[in-house]
Amino acid sequence: MTSDIGDFAEATGNTVTRATQEMIQQELAARVLCRRRLLPFIMRFNPQYDPGWVHKDICARLERFSDAVAAKESPRLMIFMPPRSGKSEIVSRNFPAWHLGRFPHHEFIATSYSSSLALKFSKKVRGLLREPGYLEVFPQTGLDPNTQAAEAWATTGGGAYMAAGVSGPLTGNGMHVGVIDDPVKNREEADSET
């Protein structure tokens, strides 16, 4: 990390005091932690986020899932929780941005009972990639300037994200990770024979 501090000082033309050096080291360590762990990543972009034990557990499971995807183990992970428990915040809004930061060549498909909900998730994930702080954590992952539509966008690393409703047009698209969040709108739809 000391070479990073020297590079920083040289790039900014500043002399670095001990206090500044410590601040820079803390920032660099925080970035490394955000690359390795999902929960610190979430908290970096949402400092008011107040995780409980279940949220920490979900993050740990998603970290293992992400590593298993990268190792081509074809993992499966199902998370069932009551509404308003924080599942979507972690799984559908933050996890894709974190995983794509680590593996910018991977492809995501996110679905929900309606295309509007899937698009809301997509916009949130895409918004995280647009944050200046995101490039500080994942400098190798950016948005491809040529494909940034809410329903389908790409990373500069060759990865992609596609959002669609459950009956939406997904044929012909591959993925490394698929997220299905709220595939059924309500009890009436769940009990329907169709």
C-alpha–C-alpha distance, residues 11 and 66, integer Å:
34
pTM score, two decimals? 0.83
pLDDT in tens, 76-104: 988 888 888 888 899 889 999 999 999 99
| End-to-end CA gap in the chain | 58
pLDDT in tens, 40-70: 999 999 999 999 999 999 999 999 999 999 9
Predicted pLDDT at 13: 59
Predicted pLDDT at 148: 82
Closest to 89 (Cα-Cα) out of 132, 43, 53, 131: 43
Q: Sorting pLDDT into bands at 50, 70 and 90, what band is 164? A: confident
C-alpha–C-alpha distance, residues 17 and 10, integer Å:
13
Distances (CA, A) of 28 to 35, 157, 194: 11, 23, 53
Instruction: Evaluate whether 125 touches 161 at the Cβ level (below 8 Å).
Output: yes
| Residue 107, strand partner residues | 160
Mean pLDDT of the chain: 84
Predicted pLDDT at 185: 58
DSSP conformation letters of the chain: -HHHHHHHHHHHT----HHHHHHHHHHHHHHHHHHH-HHHHHHHH-TT----HHHHHHHHHHHHHHHHHHTT----------TTSSHHIIIIIIHHHHHHHH-TT-EEEEEESSHHHHHHHHHHHHHHHHSHHHHHH-TT--EEEEEEETTEEEETTS-EEEEEETTS--TT---SEEEE---S-SHHHHH---
* Model confidence at 158: pLDDT above 70: yes
C-alpha–C-alpha distance, residues 58 and 54, integer Å:
6
